[in-house]
Amino acid sequence: MTPDEQLTYFDTNGYLNRGPVLTAAEVEAMRDGLDRVISLERGDGDDSSVEFKYGHDREGDAPEESGRDARAIHQYVNMWKRDPAYEAAIHNPKIAATACRLLRTPRVRLWHDQVISKPPGDNAHFGFHQDFYFWPLGPPNIVSCWLALDDATVDTGCMHVIPESHADPRFSPEAWARETSAAQTARDEGRPAEKTERDRMREADPSHGIPVELAAGDCMFHHCLNFHGTPPNVTDRQRRAFVMIFMAEGVRYNHAQSPGHILVPTIEVADGEPLVGDAFPVA
């Protein structure tokens, strides 16, 4: 696709298969860096930044202490702070330029990154969801880049997306606000909240979506309101991916939307101000 065709496709569908952006050597350097971080985190871990401990178990952790269900997924947040190969990836000109184009902004800033690992035989599916409502941010002018560190196929648990869901008014922030208010009213009145279309989408099997298969070194982008999920990894192979979340200029800190987010302690601007700072580098 030409850049204009990519933008039209993304605007319509809420996702884009960007194709190859890294060389085999760059992918291997990222795998090696991840192995070093995993080795460290399997021991005492690194507590030099609050988010480093999130999403994986350390030596001595028990499931009831970590809050994770049988290690359903492994996450390593803000790898850009921990390994130069990951810092290079967030500044990769192919990736950053595509993010700027899709968000129609002169520059993008990283919200955070994360490695998401589905080891062989160790994961259930990760159901359909919209990322935006997990974050203390607004407006939803945010895009995620999902970079494959291994070949991602249906069998290994590649990304599945729901085209056009990012623009569906049933799943908009306005609808979210109405649903949240209705749910609170139901709780106040001592009755269960009515099931919404958003609830039904969350319950759908990942096979309901469109699979986006990628070779190692390829990436795809999806809008922060696009419903997406992943099936289990049913193979004997690794399925590691590096996710970079990019914000357009003007995205602001919205504390009320996700006050418990792991990165809240690292935010240095006031609620309602544009989210800037060294912890959120320009890509």
For 243-279, write each residue's pLDDT tens digit: 999 999 999 999 999 999 999 999 999 999 999 999 9
Of the listed ranges 77-91, 128-142, 185-199, the least confidently predicted one is 185-199
Q: What is the mean pLDDT of residues 205-215?
A: 91
* Residue given tokens 């050597």 in the structure block: 25
pTM greater than 0.75 (yes/no): yes
For 3-56+68-168+210-261, give the CATH class: mainly beta
What is the phi/psi pair of residue 86, to 5°?
A: -75, -35
Give Cα 236 to chain centroid, integer Å.
Answer: 24
Asked if omega into 3 is within 30° of 0 (cis), the reply is no
Which two tokens mark 233?
Answer: 């990894």
What is the C-alpha separation between 110 and 143, in angstroms, rounded? 10
Is the model's pLDDT at 239 over the cut of 60? yes
Average pLDDT, the chain: 93
What is the torsion angle, in degrees rounded to the nearest 10, for the CA atoms of residue 222, residue 227, residue 233 and residue 239? 20
pLDDT of the residue at 61 = 66
What is the percentage of the chain residues whose pLDDT exceeds 90? Answer: 83
* β pairing state of 159-161 and 228-230: antiparallel
Q: Who's near 170: CB < 8 A, 6+ residues apart? A: 196, 197, 198
Q: Residue 196: left (phi > 0), alpha (psi -120 to 50), or beta?
A: beta
Contact 263, 51 (CB under 8 A): yes
pLDDT of the residue at 124 = 63
Q: What is the mean pLDDT of residues 33-60?
A: 91
Q: Who's near 183: CB < 8 A, 6+ residues apart? A: 193
Domain boundaries, the chain: 3-56+68-168+210-261
pLDDT of the residue at 68 = 46
pLDDT tens column, 52-68: 999 888 876 655 554 44
Q: How many residues does the chain have?
A: 283
Q: What is the mean pLDDT of residues 116-129?
A: 79
pLDDT of the residue at 66 = 47
What is the C-alpha separation between 202 and 209, in angstroms, rounded? 12
What is the C-alpha separation between 93 and 283, in angstroms, rounded? 8
What is the C-alpha separation between 211 and 231, in angstroms, rounded? 10
Contact 73, 56 (CB under 8 A): no
